[in-house]
Structure 1
């Protein structure tokens, strides 16, 4: 007779990370199955094993210890484990329907998937629509299917303006809305700006949905001024601003003429991201949104041995270009200071 297993979450965590590192699907699935067999709750497996493991995977990518391919392989295995855990453990639904989706343009689907599965474990009938759901299609789905609530995920704060438009569209369906994800700020500050209820994690989301009523009633249509003329101007000039950054890069670094198509596309995307983060910061009128994005960029570049000097130069070009945009200019200068303090250090 086999000895009873003594596996618990603490001992399973390093073993699970090893499975992710080795792209060992079978080992990861067997580990999760053993945890469930020993009596560990399915919700705990999802939130206390898979979530911290994926956070660590993200750190390994950011520090350049893992490639994009390794990160994708690990995420795929985590998704398989999520499916296996909830298939084995989820009860028959006895609560209403909750629709869970990513904002249009958001491709980080695993975090909202985990929210969806926790809700399923707690008895909700869940429809998970996955990554990057266009607003018009989400609206059509809401009108065709009766739902108790809608949960929307946003991982990147540069998509806050689009998130706001999507939220306002969904409000017309008269369905309570709950949002989550790092895109709304570490404490949900930008969700409050948009006038919507924010959940810090899957358990908090499940608790808020269970409470219902006032717990899902946000402050309305947002507080203070959102967007304004500067935001509209930035968006209308987005292509021009990116082109000016590219022209400056060609002058400073003639070797870009030898870039491959992939390298050129990546450069254009990087310059566009700077503009998009800046526009989002102007939209919610929060300098910190932009400076935090610059600090994240700094850390990624440092891990890859790349100087921040090029980014600082691009910010200077944008300051000169946007002389008639006082808030954008102030945010760009703050972004330069955030990079400069590290460059000097």
Structure 2
């Protein structure tokens, strides 16, 4: 048994997630925000808040919507409230420690589900990366322009809808051709269903969550730096 899953801290975050979801479903954005911010001010780790409160709650909201337990209006309200919470947490994720690595993160094509990628970019920021978050609905030309301007070490692409997988493939191929040194990581629902999909698209790897994505990107980029040295 994973003892960490039964730790007091983990149990506290589980209770916080349940309370946060309850406030969201009750339409109480102010109360939901206060729960999370009070926990962070009391010493809760922001990474843990993302992974064990905000992320699972959003997954549950999505499940409730898919099962027609809540309306799309409620789903949008909950997502907007969580985006507000994340924006209020930004002062807590800024770090003065930088290690010289940079990344660009975006949602491909007509993807409007940007919350996951926003969390990913925040995790990179907390790990000392310089981040460039482009948000939702990013066409290929915009991604390539950002790559040319920013010259990042890594590109992270988010795909939620299966119909956008071909768009991700096109972006990956274009970036690999024009910026061959850049490490390309992908994430989202299609890759959870098919772990081999990322490699078939030409990506260097995929991640289940933000924490895993940061670790993989750091490994790939630092391996390149060591080889160059």
Match of 1:159 in 2: 164
Match of 1:194 in 2: 201
Rounded Cα–Cα distance in structure 2 between residues aligned with 1:123 and 1:27: 31
Residue 105 of structure 1 pairs with residue 110 of structure 2: yes
Q: TM-score, normalising length from structure 1?
A: 0.58
Map 1:1-345 onto structure 2 (within 5 A).
Answer: 8-92=12-96, 94-95=98-99, 96-171=101-176, 172-174=178-180, 175-196=182-203, 197-213=205-221
- Paired residues of 1:101 and 1:131 also in contact (CA < 8 A): yes
SS in 1 for 2:193: coil
- Paired residues of 1:86 and 1:121 also in contact (CA < 8 A): no
Q: TM-score, normalising length from structure 2?
A: 0.86
Rounded Cα–Cα distance in structure 2 between residues aligned with 1:31 and 1:125: 29
Measure how far apart 1:185 and its partner are: 4.1
- Paired residues of 1:91 and 1:120 also in contact (CA < 8 A): yes
Measure how far apart 1:37 and its partner are: 2.2
The verdict on how the C-alpha distance between 1:15 and 1:164 changes in structure 2, with shifts beyond 3 A counting, is same
Could you say what the CA RMSD is over the residues aligned between the two structures, in angstroms?
A: 1.9
Number of equivalences: 211
SS in 2 for 1:188: coil
Q: Tell which structure's C-alpha radius of gyration is larger.
A: 1
The verdict on how the C-alpha distance between 1:65 and 1:144 changes in structure 2, with shifts beyond 3 A counting, is same
Rounded Cα–Cα distance in structure 2 between residues aligned with 1:102 and 1:139: 13
The verdict on how the C-alpha distance between 1:113 and 1:13 changes in structure 2, with shifts beyond 3 A counting, is same
Measure how far apart 1:116 and its partner are: 0.9
In structure 1, runs of 5+ residues without a counterpart are 1-5, 217-345
Rounded Cα–Cα distance in structure 1 between residues aligned with 2:222 and 2:37: 38
